[in-house]
């Protein structure tokens, strides 16, 4: 499920293998009716947090960062994005529909998503990252890199915005992402349009943001765009192969679906609501 931040549209997708279009339409109607019958206007209170456990100790994380910086100073890397994980024990079961509704209230400008491949686990979250939207032959994507928090007052918020806008370090990090996206789309497109860099404000954070569009030469499938763009430097690094190798050698946990593309497409892959990089996604396991 993907909800577009630009509207209140919700996409319900049913996947079926070796089925006719009529059979898929029937299953879609059945699932939609079941969801309507199960909808509850009430909302449960959030489950309490019993304990949180970081997968990486602070000292270990500092050492990982130092090792990555050394590789950059030695010229092996231009950029690498390391991650951490936090295991949370809840006092009660979490209602995923309620969580998604709260995420929509807290982050109305983000893409919400939820995949529940089994009855024991779900992958859900809210992300501002849009990897690609394909409309006809036009690809829409974003460079979103370089971040700072929001201020407690309008004056403090404006100061933080000015700081990120004028930071050479942030600008360098951001331009690496812009440059890479432009290079990745170049072989597929006849024209790549890069808009002016600006600041995108979310509920708790603000990012340097550059919208990018490209016109494809051919009727490429949306997954061809995903293959060309993923992983972006925002979740991987540069050069990609060395960055991914550094991540595997450095991080002490398996990323799994974390930072993987999620989204939807139509049957012929010409259009899709959105495909995003859920860099702030969560993996939730049901209590047994």
Tell whether pTM > 0.85: no
Beta strands in the chain (DSSP E): 2-3, 10-11, 49-54, 79-80, 86-90, 111-115, 121-127, 133-135, 138-149, 189-194, 198-201, 205-216, 237-238, 262-263, 275-276, 282-285
Cα(141)–Cα(211) distance, rounded to whole angstroms?
Answer: 6
Cα(203)–Cα(59) distance, rounded to whole angstroms?
Answer: 30
**What is the arithmetic mean of pLDDT over 256-264?**
81
Phi, then psi, of 219 in degrees rounded to 5: -80, 70
Cα(269)–Cα(221) distance, rounded to whole angstroms?
Answer: 5
The predicted structure's pLDDT at residue 135: 87
- Which of 79, 152, 161, 168 is catalytic? The answer is 79
pLDDT in tens, 119-140: 788 888 888 888 998 888 899 9
**Contact (Cβ atoms closer than 8 angstroms) between residue 205 and residue 109:** no
Cα(213)–Cα(141) distance, rounded to whole angstroms?
Answer: 6
Cα(14)–Cα(28) distance, rounded to whole angstroms?
Answer: 6
- Which of 19, 60, 120, 129 is catalytic? The answer is 129
Average pLDDT, whole number, for the chain? 84
Question: Residue ranges per domain, the chain?
Answer: 2-136+219-285
* CB within 8 Å of 239: residues ≥ 6 apart: 77, 78
* Higher pLDDT pick, 13 / 181: 181
**Which segment of 14-23, 139-148, 158-167, 200-209 scores lowest on mean pLDDT?**
14-23
Tokens (6 digits) for 51:
């304990």
The predicted structure's pLDDT at residue 220: 84
The predicted structure's pLDDT at residue 2: 40
Query: Which helix (H) or strand (E) covers residue 122, if one does?
Result: strand 121-127
**Which segment of 111-125, 216-230, 258-272 scores lowest on mean pLDDT?**
258-272
* Higher pLDDT pick, 259 / 246: 246
The predicted structure's pLDDT at residue 284: 33
* CB within 8 Å of 55: residues ≥ 6 apart: 84, 85, 86, 87, 252, 253
User: In the structure, what pLDDT confidence band is assigned to residue 66 with cuts at 50, 70 and 90?
Assistant: very high
Residue located via tokens 């490429």: 220
**Contact (Cβ atoms closer than 8 angstroms) between residue 98 and residue 245:** no
89 counts as catalytic: no
pLDDT at 48 over 60: yes
**What is the arithmetic mean of pLDDT over 225-247?**
91
* CB within 8 Å of 191: residues ≥ 6 apart: 214, 215
CATH number for 2-136+219-285: choose from 3.40.50.620, 3.60.120.10, 3.30.1490.270, 1.10.3720.10.
3.60.120.10
* CB within 8 Å of 169: residues ≥ 6 apart: none
**What is the arithmetic mean of pLDDT over 44-72?**
91
Tokens (6 digits) for 216:
């494809």
**What is the arithmetic mean of pLDDT over 30-47?**
72
The predicted structure's pLDDT at residue 8: 55
**Contact (Cβ atoms closer than 8 angstroms) between residue 71 and residue 243:** no
pLDDT at 4 over 80: no
pLDDT in tens, 92-122: 988 888 888 888 888 888 888 888 877 788 8
Cα(143)–Cα(182) distance, rounded to whole angstroms?
Answer: 10
pLDDT in tens, 128-185: 888 998 888 899 999 999 999 999 999 999 999 999 999 999 999 999 999 999 999 9
* CB within 8 Å of 105: residues ≥ 6 apart: none
105 counts as catalytic: no
């Amino acid at each position: 499920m993907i909800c577009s931040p630009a509207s209140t549209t919700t996409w319900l997708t049913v996947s079926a293998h070796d089925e006719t279009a009529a059979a898929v339409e029937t299953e879609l109607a059945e699932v939609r009716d079941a969801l309507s019958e199960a909808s509850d206007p009430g909302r449960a209170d959030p489950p309490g947090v019993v304990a949180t456990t970081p997968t990486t100790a602070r000292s270990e994380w500092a050492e990982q960062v130092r090792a990555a910086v050394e590789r950059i100073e030695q010229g092996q890397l231009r950029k690498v994005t390391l991650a951490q994980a936090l295991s949370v024990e809840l006092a009660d079961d979490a209602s995923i529909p309620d969580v998604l509704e709260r995420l929509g209230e807290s982050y109305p400008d983000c893409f919400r998503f939820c995949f529940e491949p089994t009855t024991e686990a779900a992958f859900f979250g809210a992300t501002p990252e849009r990897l690609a939207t394909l409309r006809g032959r036009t690809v829409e994507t974003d460079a979103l890199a370089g971040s700072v928090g929001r201020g407690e007052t309008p004056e403090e918020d404006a100061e933080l915005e000015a700081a990120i806008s004028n930071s050479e370090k942030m600008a360098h990090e951001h331009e690496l992402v812009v440059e890479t996206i432009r290079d990745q789309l170049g072989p597929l497109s006849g024209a790549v349009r890069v808009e002016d860099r600006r600041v995108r404000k979310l509920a708790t954070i603000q990012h340097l943001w550059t919208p990018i569009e490209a016109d494809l030469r051919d009727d490429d499938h949306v997954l061809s765009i995903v293959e060309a763009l993923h992983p972006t430097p925002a979740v991987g690094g540069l050069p990609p192969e060395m960055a991914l190798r550094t991540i595997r050698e450095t991080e002490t946990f398996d990323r799994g679906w974390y930072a993987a593309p999620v989204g939807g497409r139509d049957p012929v892959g010409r259009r899709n609501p959105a495909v995003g990089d859920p860099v702030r996604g969560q993996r939730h396991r049901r209590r047994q």
